[in-house]
């Protein structure tokens, strides 16, 4: 669906409004910020519940410990997220933008801070136009300080997803936060302050790539905030004469829907690329309709199809939605089954290329391997190693291999092959590792035994 672009220039001073959509927006701000600021403080099985540790290359996600070998799960999650975004955009248009996109949420918070110190839109407009003086300096300085403080909190919290949050807070209190932590916190804080505190709706209109391609995902049944022109037009102020009222549409041209719009557009001009689907114009207009004792919904969440008074389509009439939904369900199920079957330890095997195959005292040919075992459990484990394959006569060490809790350890393993059985060349062998306390937990890896 092609969406026209109307450029709005100058700073936007949106007016505050109340109503259903506004309540949802506030709820989304609260929930997303509680999650963002709260998650790094949550502990789970002795770990921070959500954290990625670059030093040990381990990711913690509640009870799950993810290793570099689990990158497939990250890839799967990204594919599911992309498909989910396609599906959501097709069904619900820009509701993501209007309610839960971090840019929208942070812009909303910055706007609240600005309103707190500088007052309603008219006062802010006047203050911006006024020459610099003590009052302007105080108010602008106060607003920017609050915005910077909030931005810094977002930056420090982001770092807390990579460095243990409690350690970070203690270091911060002691005044010795590391250089990398400082760099990331300040960098993210600067982005938050610039994008949400200053550029705001300009990011949605001119910088966001999602805004550029989402028009291609819309169809006539996509939910969007729209003005019912059949009901609203011809617009104009209400007059007392009965003839005039009868000829007039429900829009009284009060302009409230434009004044509350965070992107400064007029929804009555039709579907526009700048509209983020926040629904604030619908809230404002509902308030006007209430005062006029007219039905609500002159601006409402609807579809192009419904605006033409056509019946809603059945699910099978939207094959794209079924395709996206089916792919998401299949991939999610496959990932859940794979996670369920996943063993709590992993092994990497590398042939030690520095040590050539050599003959041992028994006349067998020995190969050396570097074995690295990753234990994802919060308890130390012991593993039994069994090497099998045609002609394999021994593997050392033949004792249990100990790996610390939530850590990894490397071992050099030698495997001896019988030269009377194995011809010159490389032969497949299998390393099987078994948890000594839980023999049903085992992993196996294939490698090669070289006979010179
Ligand atoms: S708020 Fe409603 S009545 Fe007022 S101008 Fe907008 S559409 Fe018309
Ligand atoms: S037109 Fe309405 S829904 Fe779109 S951004 Fe403006 S206020 Fe939000």
Return the CATH number at 373. Answer: 2.60.40.10
Same domain, 377 and 297: no
The alpha carbon of 431 and the centre of ligand 2 are apart by a number of angstroms equal to 61
Question: Is residue 322 one of the residues assigned to a domain?
Answer: no
Smallest CA separation from ligand 1 atom 1, residue: 285
Query: Which one of the ligands is nearest to 8 CA?
Result: 2
What gap in Å lies between CA 88 and CA 95, rounded to an integer?
Answer: 9
Smallest CA separation from ligand 2 atom 5, residue: 275
Same domain, 203 and 265: no
The mean pLDDT value for 286-290 works out to 96
Tell me the pLDDT of the chain averaged across its residues. Answer: 90
Question: Is residue 318 one of the residues assigned to a domain?
Answer: no
The mean pLDDT value for 423-439 works out to 93
Instruction: Give percent of the chain with pLDDT exceeding 70.
Output: 93
Smallest CA separation from ligand 2 atom 2, residue: 281
What is the pLDDT confidence band of residue 232, given thresholds at 50, 70 and 90?
very high
Of 283, 308, 333, the one marking the end of a domain is 308
Q: Which of 174-178, 278-282, 287-291, 310-314 has the lowest mean pLDDT?
A: 310-314
CA-based max dimension of the chain: 114
Report which ligand 1 atom has the smallest distance to the Cα of 299.
7
Question: Is residue 260 one of the residues assigned to a domain?
Answer: yes
Same domain, 399 and 283: no
Same domain, 76 and 178: yes
pLDDT above 70: residue 314: no
Question: Is residue 115 one of the residues assigned to a domain?
Answer: yes
Bond from prior residue into 42 cis (ω within 30 degrees of 0): no
Query: How crowded is residue 326: how many other Cβ atoms within 10 Å of its Cβ?
Result: 11
Would the CB of 301 count as within 6 Å of ligand 2?
Answer: no
Question: Is residue 110 one of the residues assigned to a domain?
Answer: yes
Instruction: Give percent of the chain with pLDDT exceeding 90.
Output: 68
The mean pLDDT value for 203-214 works out to 83
Of 184, 209, 234, the one marking the end of a domain is 209
Would the CB of 275 count as within 6 Å of ligand 2?
Answer: yes
Of 209, 241, 276, the one marking the end of a domain is 209
Would the CB of 66 count as within 6 Å of ligand 1?
Answer: no
Question: Is residue 323 one of the residues assigned to a domain?
Answer: no
pLDDT above 70: residue 315: no
The mean pLDDT value for 294-320 works out to 82
What backbone phi and psi angles, to 5 degrees, belong to 67? Answer: -105, 170
**pLDDT at residue 312, as a whole number:** 66
Same domain, 49 and 140: yes
pLDDT above 90: residue 283: yes
Q: In this predicted model, what pLDDT tens digit does every residue of 377-413 receive, in sequence order?
A: 888 999 999 999 999 999 988 899 999 998 899 999 9
Q: Of 53-67, 115-129, 240-254, 353-367, which one has max mean pLDDT? A: 115-129
Q: How many CA atoms lie within 13 A of 116 on its CB side?
A: 13
Would the CB of 368 count as within 6 Å of ligand 2?
Answer: no
Site to probe by mutation for ligand 2, drawn from 8, 92, 263, 285 as the one with most ligand atoms within 8 Å of Cβ, is 263
Question: Is residue 431 one of the residues assigned to a domain?
Answer: yes
Query: Which one of the ligands is nearest to 301 CA?
Result: 2
Same domain, 165 and 252: no
Smallest CA separation from ligand 1 atom 6, residue: 257
- What Cα–Cα distance (Å) separates residue 163 from each residue in 181, 186, 273? 8, 15, 40
**pLDDT at residue 251, as a whole number:** 96
What gap in Å lies between CA 423 and CA 187, rounded to an integer?
Answer: 61
Same domain, 230 and 349: no
**Number of separate domains in the chain:** 3
**pLDDT at residue 240, as a whole number:** 60
Residues in contact with 35: Cβ distance below 8 Å, sequence separation at least 6, in sequence order:
none
Question: DSSP E strands: which ranges in 282-357?
Answer: 299-302, 345-351
What gap in Å lies between CA 249 and CA 246, rounded to an integer?
Answer: 8
**pLDDT at residue 9, as a whole number:** 54
**423-427 long-range contacts, CB within 8 A, separation 24+:** 423/451, 424/451, 424/452, 425/450, 425/451, 426/450, 426/451, 427/389, 427/390, 427/391, 427/451
Report which ligand 1 atom has the smallest distance to the Cα of 281.
1
Q: In this predicted model, what pLDDT tens digit does every residue of 45-102 receive, in sequence order?
A: 888 999 999 888 889 999 888 888 888 999 999 999 999 999 999 988 888 899 999 9
Question: Is residue 315 one of the residues assigned to a domain?
Answer: no
Query: Which one of the ligands is nearest to 292 CA?
Result: 1
The mean pLDDT value for 343-349 works out to 91
**pLDDT at residue 316, as a whole number:** 63
Would the CB of 267 count as within 6 Å of ligand 2?
Answer: yes
What is the pLDDT confidence band of residue 139, given thresholds at 50, 70 and 90?
very high
Q: In this predicted model, what pLDDT tens digit does every residue of 152-172 receive, in sequence order?
A: 999 999 999 999 999 999 999
Would the CB of 254 count as within 6 Å of ligand 1?
Answer: yes
Domain with 288 in it = 224-308
- What Cα–Cα distance (Å) separates residue 262 from each residue in 32, 251, 259, 278, 302? 20, 21, 8, 9, 20
Query: Which one of the ligands is nearest to 271 CA?
Result: 2
Same domain, 132 and 280: no
The alpha carbon of 280 and the centre of ligand 2 are apart by a number of angstroms equal to 6
**pLDDT at residue 12, as a whole number:** 84
H/E stretch holding 330: helix 319-341
Same domain, 406 and 300: no
Smallest CA separation from ligand 2 atom 1, residue: 267
What is the pLDDT confidence band of residue 5, given thresholds at 50, 70 and 90?
very low
Same domain, 446 and 353: yes
Same domain, 170 and 48: yes
The mean pLDDT value for 276-284 works out to 95
Same domain, 352 and 234: no
SS3 223: coil
Query: Which one of the ligands is nearest to 279 CA?
Result: 2
**pLDDT at residue 8, as a whole number:** 46
Query: How crowded is residue 27: how many other Cβ atoms within 10 Å of its Cβ?
Result: 11
Would the CB of 278 count as within 6 Å of ligand 2?
Answer: yes
- What Cα–Cα distance (Å) separates residue 28 from each residue in 22, 225, 278, 366? 10, 18, 12, 63
Would the CB of 95 count as within 6 Å of ligand 2?
Answer: no
**pLDDT at residue 7, as a whole number:** 43
The tokens describing 440, both together, are: 């049903």
- What Cα–Cα distance (Å) separates residue 73 from each residue in 61, 64, 342, 444? 12, 12, 11, 20
Query: How crowded is residue 165: how many other Cβ atoms within 10 Å of its Cβ?
Result: 21
Would the CB of 281 count as within 6 Å of ligand 2?
Answer: yes
What is the pLDDT confidence band of residue 342, given thresholds at 50, 70 and 90?
confident
**pLDDT at residue 24, as a whole number:** 96
**C-alpha R_g of the chain:** 31
H/E stretch holding 374: strand 365-375
pLDDT above 90: residue 108: yes
């Amino acid at each position: 669906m092609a969406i026209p672009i109307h450029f709005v220039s100058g700073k936007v001073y949106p007016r505050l409004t109340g109503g259903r959509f506004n309540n949802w927006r506030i709820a989304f701000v609260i929930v997303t910020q509680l999650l963002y600021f709260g998650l790094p403080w949550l502990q789970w099985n002795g770990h921070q519940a959500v954290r990625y540790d670059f030093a040990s290359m381990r990711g913690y996600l509640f009870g799950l410990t993810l290793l570099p070998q689990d990158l497939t799960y990250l890839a799967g999650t990204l594919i599911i997220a992309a498909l989910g975004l396609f599906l959501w955009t097709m069904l619900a248009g820009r509701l993501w933008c209007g309610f839960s996109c971090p840019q929208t949420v942070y812009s909303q918070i910055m706007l609240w801070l600005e309103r707190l110190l500088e007052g309603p839109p008219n006062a802010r407009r006047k203050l911006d136009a006024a020459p610099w003086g003590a009052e302007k300096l105080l108010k602008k300085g106060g607003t920017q300080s609050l915005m910077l403080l909030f931005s810094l909190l977002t930056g420090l919290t982001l770092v807390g997803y990579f460095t243990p949050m409690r350690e970070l807070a203690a270091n911060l209190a002691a005044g010795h936060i590391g250089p990398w932590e400082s760099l990331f916190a300040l960098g993210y804080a600067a982005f938050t302050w610039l994008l949400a505190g200053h550029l705001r709706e300009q990011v949605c209109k001119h910088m966001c790539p999602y805004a550029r391609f989402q028009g291609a995902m819309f169809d006539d049944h996509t939910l969007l905030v729209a003005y019912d022109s059949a009901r609203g037009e011809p617009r104009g102020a209400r007059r007392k004469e009965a003839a005039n009222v009868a000829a007039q549409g429900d829009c009284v041209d009060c302009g409230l829907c434009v004044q509350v719009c965070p992107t400064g557009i007029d929804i009555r001009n039709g579907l526009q690329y700048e509209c983020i689907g926040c629904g604030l114009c619908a809230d404002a207009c509902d308030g006007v309709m209430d005062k006029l004792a007219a039905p609500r919904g002159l601006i409402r969440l609807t579809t192009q199809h419904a605006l033409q008074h056509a019946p809603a389509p059945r699910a099978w009439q939207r094959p794209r939605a079924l395709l996206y939904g089916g792919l998401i369900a299949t991939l999610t199920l496959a990932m859940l089954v794979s996670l369920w079957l996943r063993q709590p330890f992993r092994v990497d095997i590398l042939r030690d290329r520095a040590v050539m195959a050599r003959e041992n005292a028994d006349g067998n040919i020995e190969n050396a391997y570097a074995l690295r075992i990753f234990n994802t459990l919060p308890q130390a484990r012991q593993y039994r190693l069994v090497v099998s394959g045609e002609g394999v006569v021994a593997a050392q060490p033949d004792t249990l291999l100990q790996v610390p809790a939530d850590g990894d350890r490397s071992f050099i393993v030698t495997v001896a092959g019988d030269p009377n059985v194995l011809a010159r060349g490389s032969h497949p062998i299998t390393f099987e590792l078994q948890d000594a306390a839980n023999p049903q937990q085992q992993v196996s890896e294939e490698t090669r035994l070289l006979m010179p």
